[in-house]
Structure 1
Amino acid sequence: MSDTHSNIQNLVDNNPVVLFMKGNRNFPQCGFSATVVQILDELLPEYETINVLADPEIRTGIKSFSNWPTIPQLYIRGEFVGGCDIIKEMYSDGGLQDMLGVEEAEEVDPPNITITAAAIEAIQGVAADQEEGDLRLNISSRFEYGLDLTKAGAKDVIIETNGVRVVMDRGSARRAEGTIIDFEETSTGAGFVISNPNEPASVQQVTPEQLQALMAGNDELMLLDVRTDDEREICTIPGALPFTQELEKKIMDLDRSTGLAFHCHSGGRSQQAAEHFLAQGFTSVFNLAGGIGAWADDIDPDMKRY
């Protein structure tokens, strides 16, 4: 057994539930990892996560160790469970709860959901080209939405509205009361629009000029750089602090009115980080739209790019 496989074996043996993922429980860095974290958070108060992005050997080694090509990967009491799709399926049919040995969550009252006529027409158009299935509404703990046509699981909450059967896992159902599903066509395209009165306050998107003004007018505003060390070697925004686990712990001890601004290369990773701290109760949270690339375009044209 290689040293890397030995290290992985130790992690699997010493943690009842361990998830190899991109990012960590507080800051998932891919959608599949975030989905599995959402499911586990519904079921467990504690479990271990291993950030494969922080260790290239673990990232490569876990795939050969499990003989599984993708991340995330879940182990329960030393047994490999699978990746995101398998975990979602097991959660829906109750198999994951059984494997974890957790009691059934309390019953959830079916939420009231509205589907507009335009949305119904769009759903019927998609359904006509697919096998029979129900409309699945996913609402993550971060209020990220997903719509799909699928069969209901044994543990799903099922409602019918305007002739459409909607299925949800229990976590989604708890967050769905009053949700409206619409479909809009604009000059730039068409798509579903979901409005939910239960959503928390959203992250404020700022331009480079707006961020510069915020920094000049508020000495207590923290600008946090969530990029990797290698990226920071190339270029940085003056005053930005590297977002480390140690700094994250310190931030959690701050007053929730403290201003937090996040940036990365193009705005995606920093948006995830900002949403996490918004969910922790911080009320003044900003994301630099376009990331450091936009800063170079608008503020510092001499900055190195990558």
Structure 2
Amino acid sequence: MSTPGGKTKALVKLLDPPEIARFRTRSRRRAEMMQKYMTQFMMDQVLTVEKLPECDKRDFRLLNNLVTVKEFAKMKEYIFKFSGLICSTAALVLEIILANSQCWRLWEFNNKVVQFVSFGLWEAYYTQEFNISGSMTRMLVHTPINSTWNKSSEFQYLQVLIAWVILMKILVMIFTSVAIKISCMEDPFIEIQLFCYKMSAIILAVSSLFTFVTVTLNHLVDIYGQNTLDFSPDFPVKKEDIIKKHCTTVFPMGVLTATMSLFGEILFLCEMISLTGQSQVKAQCPSNLAEQKV
């Protein structure tokens, strides 16, 4: 059974000495040419037929396949980048919805006028019947939780934490947008991209922890702790009339938001690993070009 190496040796034996020299010269030039264009390929330069006058069809097909593989890798890279941005945006939207939720706490009262009161972080909501033109109409009333309310330190911590989380996620959006903008340049600065993705991953990790702590603290203090809100004097019900405290959707929604943030952090870490590999390859390419010149 013959091998490609055996065929080459047999071909060399059939050639005259001058032809052997030309054969070896062509093989050496082809190897040098392939090395040169492979270096250009690794340095993100475009390969076309005009740029390969010395290359035969078989070598060009090989290089063309390499370019196709690289384009697929770049497409995958952009998918990772925009997936991280999408996850960060989704986490920010969920955080804003969570902060504006009307049902951080839901209390039931022994009162004929107001039976249920739901508490957000900045307002309280309840339904009440009003006599409008001789007919009783039930309307939603909202009252701001301001300085007239006696708020405990735990409730104030919830307000501060959720505000910080929203600001941190806005910072993540800024860092991620800058990194994607830099990656679209012809000669992107990988170090700046790594810094932006690193900051985004760290901020997302901290914000997801803050979100989880916020919703967990609210749930534990509300259900298992004592009352952390003293109503204003003009509120229609009294704290002593509480019958039952109901669980709300805030806790599972907060867990979902924290999970979305962690997923975005994982995507940023994957992007950092990919950029580190590209940085190492680009650092090796100039040394290869210097060796070829020597």
> Larger RCO: Structure 1 or Structure 2 (Cα < 8 Å, ≥ 6 residues apart)?
2
Q: Which of the two has greater helix per residue?
A: 2
Q: Going by fraction, where is strand more abundant, 1 or 2?
A: 1
Bigger-Rg structure (1/2):
2
